[in-house]
Structure 1
Amino acid sequence: MNLISILYQANKLTKNNQRIVLGVAILLCSSIVFNFAKASNDISFGSNLGIYKDIVNEENADFFSQPKPFMRNRLIGELDLDNYFKTTNRNQEFKETSIKAKFFNNIHLNNKISLNSYFKIQDVKNLNRPWQATNHNGRDRFLKDVGLFAEELNIRYLYENKIKKINNNLIIGKFNLGFGTAWRWDRGISIHSLAETYKQTEKIGVANVLQLGNSRKTGQYNIGFSFFNNDQKILDNALFANKHSDAKEMAIPGDSRALKSYNFSTDINFDFKKNEKLSYHFSYLNLDVNRRNSRVNPSKIANQEGVVYSMNYQYPLDENIVLDGLLEYTKTNNYLGDSDRLRSYLSSNLLIKYGKSWNILLGNTRLKDRNYNFLGFNQNFSEISNGYQFQKNNYFDKLTIQVGYRYNRISYLNQRIEKQSSYGLILRYFKDF
């Protein structure tokens, strides 16, 4: 009797017997999972940014190069200490301690199919405004408002033509889009915070990524498209489904059913020599609006559209110093489905790696928000930080610490200005198993 038949027969049993059968099924699942071979050390784990970025960063589909089934897991834990010591509004001066954990799981079934998941534990209070400190009346916060949710749950199918050097990846399920790169969290402390507001996560639908060429020769070209809905419209009120707690009546862009939202992207990677790399990213996004529920004036309702252009260049000055620069511009029209609103972002940061373990980050992100009926604003978020990476040992695969200063300035079209200065420290723990 196989696992499926056991679960089918369980429906006909009493509650006590169902518990017994369920326990047997769990044991069978556990035995299947733990009998998987461990991934080879030669196989890189991935981007830590989701399935799309994993594929773009892969070279010749190395994840599927091992013929036997295996499973790989990565746990990333973060401890974040912040001190907002100087602000325009004294109520926003406070200290905060928060935690975040990311768990990545890939189950390699064969040379073509894998099951992928990405779970997160983090502070959910400021998810809609991650760049701003909420007014706490000067009260410190310690490990508050923590939530668990699933950011990705999907299946990936690979078709590989080794003669023509073509890889085609089909993704079905819940996934993050490849819209932008400046929101990547592994540079500095929080220079990614503003860009994270346009990061497209937790979409349910279908995506495809076609890979052509070789990054060491004429370049690797990744051409992707996806059709999707926001998760909360498919699994509303389900576990892990809605970390933003947005009501259906808000008609967030992307809520419409029938996979009416879509995204097209192109990533081009070049690997010139040791430690010198260049990549370009272009993407177009169209988020359909549920016009029946939208609170926007009917004459102003429009699909939210966005474009992003970015470049990432890594250049070694010598064996001990590597410059890693990132530049990205993003423009969003019809922000939140309102044709009177638009936003643009310009992110630039330079990561200087030196002495094999040290780094310095210098970065700034500018946001322009325009609303033709109300007050718009300009915002600049800057960071300078210094980091160190500890050598791998039996307790962790990687351990990093980053300490720095951040400055946030918001100008409401010269009517009033809000400023905020803070110190931050973040400790990141990586463990593969």
Structure 2
Amino acid sequence: MPAFRVSKAAVTALLAASVYPIAGHAEEDTIFPRVDVEIPMELENDYTASSEDEDAEINDLFATIEPGISVRFTKELSIESSLVFEPVQDPDAGDDRFLEDHGLYAEEIFVNYETERFAAYAGKFNPTFGTAWDIAPGIFGTDLAEDYEITERIGAGGAIKFGGDGFGAGDFGEHRLALNGFFADTTALSDSLITSRGELDLDDGGPSNTEDLSSMSATLDGGNMPGVPVNYHLGVQFQEGGRGTPEDQTGYVVGLNGSYPLTPTITLEPMVENAYFEDFGGVQENRNYLTGGASLLYGPWNAAVSYTNRHVDPEGEDSFSDDQVQVSAGYAFANGLTLDAGYKYTEDAGTHAHVIGALLTYNFAFSYPN
């Protein structure tokens, strides 16, 4: 989870690329076939300084490396893939962890066909739904919202863009509608190398673990609307319960974000998102996630604050809320390195904790032929 996710580039990319799981490519790219590679690298240290659960008071140093590889046959046709190297097991209770339990797995491998107005894709991909798990600011801003990120599904989908230069929406901004049909990956690709996380099996059950295209998501993203200086995200999902799973999961999400220059050198980038779920996880338990935050940019400096509330309402039991508040700040060096430090306070199922963290990031990218 990068230290600083909401930036001018990120807001633009939200409209240009993230509505469907493909990377945006520059119009001037003319060399085909070609291979584009981008490798975000992170080294993070989280120290739980105080917790009502003494076994949680540990220091955890870990890496996250996410190579993205695009094999582009033409301007429109490509094979997109993303690998993830990160801890695939939880740390042992009460034990510090130093670069342990890391595994490598394939998060996405799919065929993509994209034009200026349309996209179609099939394979293993991350269906669109929600944005807070990606753009909530700060080192820890995405933590709770990651509960509802949909990843590693097999299926197909498509997207259509309207607006902009007059395709359908005239002068009412730019908008993208994406539709996805999918099921959870139960192939050998659901396991990981180096450290095994185990292969998902149909008997494991869970949302969308059905091996058929009975689960779906639909999202609508937009922005650049005259007189409305805000970007929006709307989404709905349905995930059929797998074998032994008593309920189907449904969810709804709405989010807003923007980028606002306060002075020639200072920019404010706020966001807010609410996601509501019925029968979350395929059990009789409704959940609501509310995430809000803002980043302040000043040259190479950034500061961020964010808050997430997770309200849990189990059937036949008392409801309760989990909360997280985080603050962080960082600096981007001229050589491409960024260094951020932050603090978060959490209340999880009644247990309070204080965590201090630091994050070092670097992005490496190249193309062949150049």
1:321 pairs with one of 263, 266, 279: 266
What pairs up with 1:13-412 in 2 under 5 angstroms?
Answer: 53=18, 62-63=25-26, 65-69=28-32, 70-126=34-90, 136-137=93-94, 139-160=95-116, 167-184=117-134, 187-214=137-164, 217-232=171-186, 234-235=187-188, 243=197, 246-270=200-224, 278-290=230-242, 293-294=243-244, 296=245, 301-338=246-283, 340-354=284-298, 356-374=299-317, 376-391=319-334, 393=335, 398-411=336-349
Distance 2:281 2:20 in 1: 30
- AA aligned to 2:219 is S
- Report the alpha carbon displacement of residue 218 of structure 1 after superposing the two structures with TM: 2.7
- AA aligned to 2:203 is E
- Structure 1 segments of 4 or more deviating over 6 A? 44-49
Instruction: Check conservation: 2:274, 2:289, Cα contact below 8 A.
Output: yes
Residue-by-residue CA offset, 1:244-275 (whole Å, 9 max, x unaligned) = 755533311101122111111100121779xx
Q: Give the structure-2-normalised TM-score.
A: 0.86
Q: Unpaired runs of 5+ in structure 1?
A: 1-43, 127-133, 161-166, 412-416
Q: Give the structure-1-normalised TM-score.
A: 0.74
- AA aligned to 1:92 is A
Tell me the secondary structure at the aligned position of residue 18 of structure 2: helix
- Report the alpha carbon displacement of residue 68 of structure 1 after superposing the two structures with TM: 2.5
- Report the alpha carbon displacement of residue 336 of structure 1 after superposing the two structures with TM: 1.9
- Report the alpha carbon displacement of residue 89 of structure 1 after superposing the two structures with TM: 1.8
Measured at CA, do residues 284 and 99 of structure 1 come closer, stay the same or move farther in structure 2, by a change above 3 Å? Answer: same
Instruction: Check conservation: 2:188, 2:199, Cα contact below 8 A.
Output: no
- AA aligned to 1:350 is A
Measured at CA, do residues 262 and 54 of structure 1 come closer, stay the same or move farther in structure 2, by a change above 3 Å? Answer: closer
Structure number with larger C-alpha Rg: 1
Instruction: Check conservation: 2:125, 2:151, Cα contact below 8 A.
Output: yes
Tell me the secondary structure at the aligned position of residue 337 of structure 2: strand
Asked whether 1:419 is paired with 2:352, we answer yes
Tell me the secondary structure at the aligned position of residue 319 of structure 1: coil
Tell me the secondary structure at the aligned position of residue 352 of structure 2: strand
Distance 2:356 2:18 in 1: 30
Tell me the secondary structure at the aligned position of residue 183 of structure 1: helix
Distance 2:108 2:59 in 1: 32
Residue-by-residue CA offset, 1:37-89 (whole Å, 9 max, x unaligned) = xxxxxxx999999x96175998xx65454233132111111111111111112
Distance 2:178 2:163 in 1: 15
Instruction: Check conservation: 2:191, 2:200, Cα contact below 8 A.
Output: no
Count of residues paired in the alignment: 350
Distance 1:256 1:147 in 2: 25
- Report the alpha carbon displacement of residue 337 of structure 1 after superposing the two structures with TM: 1.7
Instruction: Check conservation: 1:180, 1:309, Cα contact below 8 A.
Output: yes
CA RMSD of aligned residues (A): 2.9
Tell me the secondary structure at the aligned position of residue 184 of structure 1: helix
- Report the alpha carbon displacement of residue 410 of structure 1 after superposing the two structures with TM: 2.8
Distance 1:225 1:87 in 2: 42
Q: Unpaired runs of 5+ in structure 2?
A: 1-8
Measured at CA, do residues 52 and 175 of structure 1 come closer, stay the same or move farther in structure 2, by a change above 3 Å? Answer: farther
Instruction: Check conservation: 1:65, 1:111, Cα contact below 8 A.
Output: no
Which stretch shows the higher mean deviation, 65-74 or 318-327? 65-74
- AA aligned to 1:263 is S
Distance 1:246 1:158 in 2: 31
Measured at CA, do residues 237 and 279 of structure 1 come closer, stay the same or move farther in structure 2, by a change above 3 Å? Answer: closer
- Bigger RCO (CA 8 Å, 6+ sep): 2
The structure richer in helix per residue is 1
Q: Name the counterpart of 1:35.
A: none
Residue-by-residue CA offset, 1:375-427 (whole Å, 9 max, x unaligned) = 54310011001111112x4xxxx32111011100135xxxxx31000110001
Measured at CA, do residues 190 and 387 of structure 1 come closer, stay the same or move farther in structure 2, by a change above 3 Å? Answer: same
Instruction: Check conservation: 1:149, 1:243, Cα contact below 8 A.
Output: no
